[in-house]
């Protein structure tokens, strides 16, 4: 739907931070679960072959993840845009509420399906919105009505491990160093617990 935006996203420093601090972490987590036999085979196969296989496996994993996220965002955007442009909402720039349930790994730190959704939805809106009449106050906004505030991310019963924390506390953001502070991203908009969480799970109140 938005090929230029899909390609450009990989060059965005904020997305690169998300990739480094969240997306690829699951790949290494799965890689650490190799059995002893698999690890022995890797050693016997030679360093060059192992390095090549590892590189290919990582590239395949990365491609699969970003395509999955783009496909998920596209499916949600198609539904939201089609409903927003039909019925009582036609040409009112009034997006339809859509609720989606996804794995934590696909939405944490706002760089997965949820992070792609506004861009894809705007691309669809531009190609499907009906032309506005001259002087229509909504005409200047009809091509870009979805922004980051259009998507709300709620983590249900998050865990320290699920937020990629190395401590018993939840990790609430990425990008806390001086070089990445400009791209700092929260783990989600809200944290929702079925029951009161342990006091030592949340290091501080979120803004």
pLDDT tops 60 at residue 6 = yes
Higher pLDDT, 83 or 145: 83
Rounded-to-integer distance, Cα 98 and Cα 84, Å? 11
> Quick one: CA dihedral 21, 156, 200, 188, positive or negative?
positive
Q: What is the pLDDT of residue 141?
A: 47
What backbone phi and psi angles, to 5 degrees, belong to 84? Answer: -70, -25
- Of 9-13, 93-97, 138-142, the range with the lowest mean pLDDT is 138-142
Higher pLDDT, 48 or 102: 102
pLDDT tops 90 at residue 24 = yes
- Write out pLDDT tens, residues 116-170: 999 999 999 888 765 553 444 444 445 567 888 999 999 999 999 999 999 999 9
User: Structure pTM?
Assistant: 0.79
- Write out pLDDT tens, residues 136-151: 444 444 556 788 899 9
Residue range 16-33: mean pLDDT, rounded: 83
Q: What is the pLDDT of residue 145?
A: 78
At how many degrees (to 10) do helices 113-128 and 47-84 cross? Answer: 50
Q: What is the pLDDT of residue 175?
A: 96
Higher pLDDT, 200 or 185: 185
pLDDT band for position 194 (cuts 50, 70, 90) = very high
Q: What is the pLDDT of residue 129?
A: 64
Q: Is the Cβ–Cβ distance between 152 and 189 less than 8 Å? A: yes
Burial of 149 (C-beta count, 10 Å sphere; 0-12/13-18/19+): exposed
Rounded-to-integer distance, Cα 93 and Cα 110, Å? 24
Q: What is the pLDDT of residue 42?
A: 55
């Amino acid at each position: 739907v938005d090929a230029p935006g899909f390609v450009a996203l990989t060059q965005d420093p904020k997305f690169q931070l998300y990739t480094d601090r969240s997306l690829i972490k699951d790949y290494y987590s799965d890689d650490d679960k190799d059995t002893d036999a698999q690890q022995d085979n890797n050693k016997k196969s030679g360093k060059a072959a192992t390095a090549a296989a590892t590189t290919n496996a990582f590239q395949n994993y990365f491609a699969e993840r970003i395509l999955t996220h783009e496909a998920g965002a596209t499916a949600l955007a198609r539904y939201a845009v089609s409903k927003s442009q039909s019925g009582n909402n036609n040409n009112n720039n009034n997006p339809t509420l859509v609720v989606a349930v996804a794995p934590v790994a696909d939405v944490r730190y706002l760089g997965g399906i949820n992070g792609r959704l506004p861009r894809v939805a705007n691309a669809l809106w531009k190609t499907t919105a009906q032309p506005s009449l001259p002087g229509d106050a909504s005409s200047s906004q009809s091509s870009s009505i979805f922004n980051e505030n259009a998507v709300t991310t709620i983590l249900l019963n998050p865990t320290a491990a699920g937020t990629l924390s190395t401590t018993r506390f939840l990790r609430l953001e990425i990008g806390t160093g001086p070089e990445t502070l400009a791209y700092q991203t929260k783990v989600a908009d809200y944290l929702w617990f079925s029951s009161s969480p342990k006091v030592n799970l949340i290091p501080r109140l979120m803004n």
